Amino acid sequence: MQGSIRKILVGVIASAAFAVPALAEVKIGVVDYARLFDESPQAKTLKDALNAEFGPRVQQLVSSEQALKARSEKFQKDSATMTADQKSKAEKDLRDGLRDLERKKQELQDDSNAKRQEEMNKLQRTLIGEVREYAKAQNYDVVIADGVIYHTATVDITPAVLQALNSRAPRPAAAPAAAPAKPAAKP
């Protein structure tokens, strides 16, 4: 009886060993999206484009704010010699100017936030696509981005993804070679 239990037990263990698939080593990578957003050429291009688009409006607002401040200082200095009507008109102009400036600031903030969010969403899709392509090409089983408390450099694929992003970034136009000077025409 004991012999048959042993045979059954050995048979069960043997069949279980053959039934369980061999555990293959899982290849895991970690990517730092914040670093990709900061260092990728696509992110730098996005930042430059947003600055180019909204920079002139920011400068215009700064100029308007400085002009309003100068008008306010002039009013403070000249108010002692102004008539009541002049004071009232100047105060109204300053209030209207301040209100207009605040409205323009809010519009700029709203416009720039909307555009930035739209472009950041596009950039995020690009970065996710690049990470997926890299992970597939390198046969990663899992790539983790958020919620990583600790990882070693051996599983960090961020530098490799950045290198891939750099290789796909449009190259700046090379400065045209200086044309050789034409000899002066002889009279």
Q: Which domain holds residue 139?
A: 27-167
Domain count, the chain: 1
Residue 131 carries which side chain, given as an amino acid letter? V
- Say if 92 falls within a structural domain: yes
Is 85 part of any domain?
A: yes
Residue 34 lies in a domain: yes
| pLDDT tens digits along 138-179 | 998 989 887 777 877 878 888 888 888 888 877 665 544 444
Q: In 3D, which of 181, 66, 51, 186 has the Cα closest to residue 116?
A: 51
How high is the pLDDT of residue 10?
Answer: 43
With 90 as the cut, is the pLDDT of residue 13 above it? no
Q: Is the pLDDT of residue 70 over 60?
A: yes
Q: Give 18-78 as a 3 state SS string.
A: HHCCCCCCCCEEECCHHHHHHHCHHHHHHHHHHHHHHHHHHHHHHHHHHHHHHHHHHHHHH
Cα separation, 125 vs 144, whole angstroms: 16
User: Is residue 21 assigned to a domain?
Assistant: no
Amino acid making up residue 122: K
Q: 172 in a domain, yes or no?
A: no
pLDDT at 150: 80
Query: In this structure, is residue 112 part of a structural domain?
Result: yes
CATH number for the domain spanning 60: value is 3.30.910.20
User: Are the C-beta atoms of 178 and 54 separated by less than 8 Å?
Assistant: no
The answer to whether residue 102 sits within a structural domain is yes
Is 178 a member of any domain?
A: no
pTM: 0.64
